[in-house]
Amino acid sequence: MKNFCYAWLLGMILQGCSATAVVYGVPEPEWQRMSVEQQQEAMRQFQRQELINTQTRSAADKAREEARRLSEKCQTKDMMSLPECQVKTRRRIGF
Protein backbone atom coordinates (compact mmCIF):
# COMPACT_ATOMS: atom_id res chain seq x y z
CA MET A 1 0.00 0.00 0.00
CA LYS A 2 2.86 2.35 0.87
CA ASN A 3 4.55 1.75 -2.52
CA PHE A 4 1.26 2.40 -4.28
CA CYS A 5 0.92 5.76 -2.48
CA TYR A 6 4.46 6.74 -3.47
CA ALA A 7 3.84 5.73 -7.08
CA TRP A 8 0.54 7.63 -7.16
CA LEU A 9 2.16 10.74 -5.63
CA LEU A 10 5.02 10.59 -8.13
CA GLY A 11 2.53 10.23 -10.98
CA MET A 12 0.56 13.26 -9.79
CA ILE A 13 3.71 15.36 -9.48
CA LEU A 14 4.85 14.41 -12.97
CA GLN A 15 1.37 15.12 -14.33
CA GLY A 16 1.40 18.55 -12.73
CA CYS A 17 4.84 19.37 -14.13
CA SER A 18 3.78 18.59 -17.67
CA ALA A 19 0.46 20.44 -17.52
CA THR A 20 1.76 23.88 -18.48
CA ALA A 21 1.21 24.65 -22.16
CA VAL A 22 4.04 26.40 -23.96
CA VAL A 23 3.82 28.73 -26.95
CA TYR A 24 7.14 29.34 -28.76
CA GLY A 25 9.01 28.37 -25.59
CA VAL A 26 7.00 30.73 -23.35
CA PRO A 27 4.47 29.43 -20.79
CA GLU A 28 0.96 30.18 -22.04
CA PRO A 29 -0.10 32.41 -19.11
CA GLU A 30 2.95 34.60 -19.72
CA TRP A 31 2.30 34.52 -23.49
CA GLN A 32 -1.19 35.91 -22.92
CA ARG A 33 0.24 38.86 -20.96
CA MET A 34 2.81 39.73 -23.64
CA SER A 35 2.27 42.50 -26.17
CA VAL A 36 2.18 41.67 -29.89
CA GLU A 37 5.74 43.01 -30.30
CA GLN A 38 6.97 40.84 -27.44
CA GLN A 39 5.23 37.80 -28.94
CA GLN A 40 6.84 38.48 -32.32
CA GLU A 41 10.26 38.81 -30.68
CA ALA A 42 9.69 35.53 -28.81
CA MET A 43 8.77 33.85 -32.11
CA ARG A 44 11.92 35.20 -33.79
CA GLN A 45 14.11 34.01 -30.91
CA PHE A 46 12.42 30.61 -30.92
CA GLN A 47 12.95 30.22 -34.67
CA ARG A 48 16.57 31.34 -34.33
CA GLN A 49 17.15 28.75 -31.60
CA GLU A 50 15.46 26.05 -33.67
CA LEU A 51 17.83 26.85 -36.55
CA ILE A 52 20.82 26.61 -34.21
CA ASN A 53 19.52 23.30 -32.83
CA THR A 54 19.09 21.92 -36.36
CA GLN A 55 22.60 22.98 -37.36
CA THR A 56 24.05 21.49 -34.17
CA ARG A 57 22.26 18.18 -34.72
CA SER A 58 23.45 18.11 -38.32
CA ALA A 59 27.07 18.77 -37.30
CA ALA A 60 26.87 16.10 -34.59
CA ASP A 61 25.45 13.57 -37.08
CA LYS A 62 28.21 14.40 -39.54
CA ALA A 63 30.91 14.00 -36.84
CA ARG A 64 29.41 10.68 -35.71
CA GLU A 65 29.38 9.38 -39.28
CA GLU A 66 32.97 10.51 -39.85
CA ALA A 67 34.07 8.83 -36.59
CA ARG A 68 32.27 5.63 -37.60
CA ARG A 69 33.97 5.61 -41.03
CA LEU A 70 37.38 6.24 -39.50
CA SER A 71 36.79 3.52 -36.93
CA GLU A 72 35.91 1.03 -39.67
CA LYS A 73 38.93 2.07 -41.70
CA CYS A 74 41.34 1.64 -38.78
CA GLN A 75 40.13 -1.81 -37.68
CA THR A 76 42.91 -3.82 -39.31
CA LYS A 77 46.47 -3.90 -37.96
CA ASP A 78 48.10 -2.79 -41.20
CA MET A 79 45.81 0.25 -41.44
CA MET A 80 46.55 1.37 -37.86
CA SER A 81 49.91 2.76 -38.98
CA LEU A 82 48.20 5.38 -41.13
CA PRO A 83 48.51 8.93 -39.71
CA GLU A 84 44.75 9.39 -39.50
CA CYS A 85 44.46 6.22 -37.41
CA GLN A 86 46.90 7.40 -34.75
CA VAL A 87 45.37 8.52 -31.47
CA LYS A 88 45.94 12.19 -30.95
CA THR A 89 46.22 13.55 -27.44
CA ARG A 90 46.97 16.96 -26.05
CA ARG A 91 48.44 17.73 -22.70
CA ARG A 92 47.91 20.84 -20.69
CA ILE A 93 51.14 22.22 -19.37
CA GLY A 94 51.16 23.16 -15.71
CA PHE A 95 47.87 21.57 -14.71
Query: Per-residue confidence of the chain (95 residues) as pLDDT tens digits?
Result: 677 777 777 777 766 666 678 888 899 999 999 999 999 999 999 999 999 999 999 999 999 998 888 888 777 766 666 777 776 655 666 65
**pLDDT of 56:** 96
**Alpha carbon distance 19, 12 (integer Å):** 11
**pLDDT of 23:** 85
**pLDDT of 1:** 67
24, 46 contact by CB (below 8 A):
yes
Distances (CA, A) of 39 to 34, 55, 72, 89: 6, 24, 49, 48
Cβ density class 39-60: b for 16+ within 10 Å, e for less:
eeebeeeeeeeeeeeeeeeeee
